[in-house]
């Protein structure tokens, strides 16, 4: 009996203990639910023993059964909170599983839906026997507001530092690289400065990635895929729109738009950037460049305030770059002007010297002869006057050229159109050059089988042909010069070909510019204005002039002029009527 009672009391005790255990279990669960913190208990094998609803809201996942060995909850990734924002090498859960007490830390967490939170908390190893691994870990955490990467103070400091950099006397390219280094990694994890106002080729003037290996990758990618203004892919679209672009998460379509082919996209992928902020550099209403900023996977997306700071910075950079360019252009213009004044005075003085000497000599002869009561021979006077006249003609043409340039600059080039035959005009000019060609032992050939009628300004047309022919003789090295006139429908074409010194490919594009020359003034005199004036006149006629040449291979200048408002019958040559005189 006594044993029966003892058994009964044991059962009672066991029941009481079970009830107690249930109570404490329930109480514990209640406590876990009520803490207001996310709580997670898992054993050393990764089995989840507790996961409260707060944890469900923070991680945005249903209670998981297991957590894999690297300590990432299903679909979630632990990320760093520093500027790189990359994936955490060792998760806080793994650290506690290894025995570390992780106390009061902050971690970033990327959730399955792509959003990011910052959690603050601790992870404790539990059930740890001395010298052994813990039996499990307990995580307690709560969400905290993420500090903006760029707070007001940092933004102000950034703009001040940028201002100091921009104010320093740096030349263009040098100026953007340090500027970019200010922004990376403070504001972004990677950045590229694209520069290239309309006309000039767009180029990546500076590129920086916060991570050294990825920096090398970025620079290499830009070298292999340099921006091509003719192919808008690979360039921020804001070059066309002039508007800021902000993308929280670069999709495949975005990457496709930013890259040119699959390899480009692959390289871009290796950069590990997903957030994008592109701001235009606008100066005097023109997009002169763009600043493309990127943030790594896991980093917060760019915010409104950050966009404002980037825009302000781009505005200041654009202004400063534009000023630097204006200054450079102004300096270049002054340099060209000074050079021109030097050449112009030399050129104007050259005819004066023989003129002066000849007149002086004649004066002396007149004096000597007069002293002997003899008359001066008409032959001598005439010879002197010839020289005087030649040099005065040279001076007149130089001064005329200078006047033309100032007229063209002031937009006062007036054309008086009348009907004429280009072939006859050309023949007449060629005839005028006959004596100087003979002196140079250079033969002049003309090929103009039929009249080419059109409406042009006679004097200006003569000037153009004169410029091309005089250059052909001057730079023609005594080789034959050939002039061709032909018509092609409503276009008249005049070609001047010489076999002279030629022009290098490098110099060709600039010889039609003002004061530009491709020869040294020690060997060939000249102001570098003839072709400039020629082009201006030809363009005023609505035509074109171009040159093909190679150094030492002679040159060909081709003039194409619209024949103007002429009757259709004139187009069918021969048989075209003579123009009305």
Residues near ligand ADP (CB under 6 A) are 467, 471-472, 475, 498, 500-503, 511, 517-519, 526-532, 555
Nearest distance, CB of residue 558 and ligand ADP, angstroms: 12
Q: Backbone phi, then psi, for 246, in 5-degree steps?
A: -135, 125
Q: Which is nearer to ligand ADP, 266 or 335 (CB)?
A: 335
Q: Which is nearer to ligand ADP, 22 or 346 (CB)?
A: 346
Asked if the peptide bond before residue 185 counts as cis, ω within 30 degrees of 0, the response is yes
CA nearest neighbour of 298 among 92, 502, 78, 473: 78
Burial (CB < 10 A; 0-12, 13-18, 19+), residue 245, is middle
Nearest distance, CB of residue 501 and ligand ADP, angstroms: 5
Quote the strand ranges of 44-175, DSSP E: 48-51, 77-79, 102-110, 116-126, 136-144
Structure token pair of residue 261: 């082919």
CA nearest neighbour of 430 among 469, 487, 461: 469
In sequence order, the 6+-apart residues with CB closer than 8 A to the CB of 299 are 79, 83, 84, 85, 149, 189, 274, 275
Nearest distance, CB of residue 379 and ligand ADP, angstroms: 35
Q: CA dist 87 to 28, 83, 191, 272, 396, Å? A: 34, 12, 20, 11, 79
Q: Which is nearer to ligand ADP, 209 or 474 (CB)?
A: 474
CA nearest neighbour of 495 among 444, 547, 459, 449: 547
> Tokens 């806080």 label which residue?
92
Q: Which is nearer to ligand ADP, 365 or 548 (CB)?
A: 548
Nearest distance, CB of residue 533 and ligand ADP, angstroms: 8
Asked if the peptide bond before residue 377 counts as cis, ω within 30 degrees of 0, the response is no
Half-sphere exposure of 386 (CA within 13 A, CB side): 6
Quote the strand ranges of 102-252, DSSP E: 102-110, 116-126, 136-144, 190-195, 203-209, 245-247
Q: Which is nearer to ligand ADP, 135 or 399 (CB)?
A: 399
Q: Which is nearer to ligand ADP, 301 or 540 (CB)?
A: 540
Nearest distance, CB of residue 531 and ligand ADP, angstroms: 3
Nearest distance, CB of residue 470 and ligand ADP, angstroms: 8
Nearest distance, CB of residue 482 and ligand ADP, angstroms: 12
Give the nearest residue (CB) to ligand ADP: 526
Nearest distance, CB of residue 342 and ligand ADP, angstroms: 14
Nearest distance, CB of residue 492 and ligand ADP, angstroms: 21
Q: Which is nearer to ligand ADP, 137 or 527 (CB)?
A: 527
Q: Which is nearer to ligand ADP, 202 or 545 (CB)?
A: 545
Q: Which is nearer to ligand ADP, 2 or 520 (CB)?
A: 520
User: How many residues are present in the chain?
Assistant: 581
Q: CA dist 335 to 325, 332, 348, 349, 381, Å? A: 15, 5, 20, 21, 44
Q: Which is nearer to ligand ADP, 421 or 498 (CB)?
A: 498
Nearest distance, CB of residue 456 and ligand ADP, angstroms: 20
Torsion sign (Cα): 325, 326, 329, 334: negative
> Tokens 């081709």 label which residue?
558
Angstrom distance (rounded) from CA 412 to CA 445: 35
């Amino acid at each position: 009996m006594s044993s029966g009672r003892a058994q009964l009391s044991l059962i009672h005790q066991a029941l009481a203990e079970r009830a107690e255990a249930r109570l404490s279990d329930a109480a514990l669960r209640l406590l876990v639910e009520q803490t207001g913190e996310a709580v997670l208990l898992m054993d050393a094998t990764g089995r989840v023993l507790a996961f409260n609803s707060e944890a469900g809201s923070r991680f945005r996942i249903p209670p998981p059964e297991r957590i894999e060995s690297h300590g990432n909850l299903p679909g979630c990734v632990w990320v760093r909170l520093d500027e790189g924002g990359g994936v955490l090498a060792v998760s806080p859960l793994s650290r506690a599983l290894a025995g570390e007490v992780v106390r009061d830390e902050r971690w970033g967490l990327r959730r399955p839906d792509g959003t990011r939170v910052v959690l603050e908390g601790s992870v404790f190893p539990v059930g740890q026997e001395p010298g052994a691994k813990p039996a499990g870990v307990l995580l307690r955490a709560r969400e905290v507001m993420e500090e903006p990467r760029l707070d007001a103070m940092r933004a102000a400091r950034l703009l001040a530092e940028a201002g100091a950099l921009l104010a320093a006397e740096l030349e263009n390219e040098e100026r953007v690289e340090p500027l970019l280094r200010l922004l990376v990694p403070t504001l972004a994890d990677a950045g590229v400065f694209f520069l290239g106002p309309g006309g000039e080729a767009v180029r990546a003037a500076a590129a920086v990635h916060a991570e050294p290996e990825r920096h090398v990758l970025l620079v290499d990618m830009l070298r292999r895929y340099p921006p091509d203004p003719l192919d808008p892919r690979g360039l921020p679209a804001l070059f066309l729109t002039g508007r800021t672009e902000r993308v929280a998460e670069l999709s495949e379509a975005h990457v496709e738009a930013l890259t040119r082919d699959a390899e480009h996209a692959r390289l871009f992928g290796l950069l590990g950037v997903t957030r994008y902020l592109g701001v235009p550099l606008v100066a005097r209403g023109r997009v002169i460049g763009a600043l493309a900023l990127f943030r790594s996977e896991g980093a917060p997306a760019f915010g409104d305030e950050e966009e404002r700071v980037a825009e302000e910075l781009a505005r200041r950079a654009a202004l400063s770059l534009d000023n630097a360019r204006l200054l450079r252009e102004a300096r270049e213009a002054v340099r060209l002007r000074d050079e021109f004044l030097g050449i112009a005075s030399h050129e104007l003085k050259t005819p004066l010297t023989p003129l002066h000497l000849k007149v002086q000599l004649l004066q002396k002869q007149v004096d000597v002869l007069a002293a002997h009561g003899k008359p001066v021979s008409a032959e001598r006077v005439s010879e002197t006057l010839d020289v005087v006249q030649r040099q005065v003609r040279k001076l007149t043409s130089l001064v005329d050229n200078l006047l033309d340039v100032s007229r063209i600059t002031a937009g006062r080039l007036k054309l008086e159109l009348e009907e004429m035959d280009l072939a006859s005009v050309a023949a007449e000019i060629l005839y005028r050059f006959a004596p100087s060609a003979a002196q140079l032992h250079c033969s002049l050939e003309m090929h103009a089988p039929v009249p080419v009628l059109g409406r042009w300004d006679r004097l200006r047309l003569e000037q153009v042909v004169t410029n091309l022919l005089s250059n052909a003789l001057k730079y023609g090295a005594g080789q034959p010069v050939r002039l061709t006139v032909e018509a092609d429908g409503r276009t008249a074409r005049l070609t001047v070909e010489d076999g002279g010194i030629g022009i290098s490919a490098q110099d060709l594009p600039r010889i039609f510019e003002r004061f530009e020359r491709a020869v040294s003034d020690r060997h060939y005199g000249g102001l570098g204005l003839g072709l400039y004036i020629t082009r201006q006149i030809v363009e005023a006629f609505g035509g074109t002039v171009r040159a093909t040449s190679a150094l030492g291979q002679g040159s060909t200048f081709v003039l194409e002029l619209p024949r103007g408002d002429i009757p259709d019958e004139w187009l069918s040559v021969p048989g075209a009527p003579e123009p009305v005189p």
